[in-house]
Amino acid sequence: MEEKSKTQRKKEAQSLQVLGEKLVKLSIEQIKEIDLPVEIYDAVKFAKTIKKHGAIKRQMQYIGTVMRKYDPEPIREALDNIEHGNYKKAMAFKEIEEWRDELIAGNKMLMEEILEKCPDADRQQLTQLVRNAIREMENNKPPRASRTLFHYLSKENKKQVRY
């Protein structure tokens, strides 16, 4: 096994410290969602209470040191999910809106695609929801059935996609 150079070790330590800084910037609720080792969680929680610049800098170095004991990949993945999760949720929301609008417009091919993507979806219920939404739109009624269709599509999509 090849030993790492001093420069490489310093870069890794710096990257762990930066990772710790990202953790400190999160809210306590977000930090609780991440499966952090107790030692790192306590250090991050304490860092959030510090006000002096020098003390914060030392605490960040300490967090970086503590993080060397643990595998940083799950923490990186959790931070990535937090940072990009909202974008993914927005894109999924937009996709479901487009599905609903296309289904109401009469796109039969999309119905088949949705049923392939979401195998747990009930064809009969989906067809009934689309029919109700179309009837509602034709009669210029409030979009209650359209909302119900959206919620159904959203629920079925969430079974398939993890954010």
pLDDT score recorded for residue 161: 56
* From 60-64, 88-92, 142-146, the region with the lowest mean pLDDT: 88-92
Mean pLDDT score across all residues of the chain: 87
Asked if 47 contacts 24 with a C-beta cutoff of 8 angstroms, the reply is yes
CATH classification code of 6-70? 1.10.60
The Cα-based distances of 10 to 7, 13, 17, 39, 147 in angstroms read 5, 5, 10, 22, 54
Q: Which amino acid is at 109?
A: M
Euclidean distance between CA atoms 19 and 84, whole angstroms: 16
Under CATH, to which class is 85-160 assigned? mainly alpha
Asked if 163 contacts 147 with a C-beta cutoff of 8 angstroms, the reply is no
pLDDT score recorded for residue 44: 93
pLDDT score recorded for residue 56: 92
Structural domain boundaries of the chain?
6-70, 85-160
pLDDT score recorded for residue 163: 42
Comparing 6-70 with 85-160, is the CATH topology the same?
Answer: yes
The Cα-based distances of 84 to 29, 31, 46, 119, 139 in angstroms read 17, 16, 26, 27, 41
Instruction: Say how many CA atoms lie within 13 Å of 87 toward its Cβ.
Output: 5
The gap from C-alpha 125 to its chain's centroid, in whole angstroms, comes to 29
Span 116-149, pLDDT tens digits: 888 888 889 989 999 999 999 889 888 888 899 8
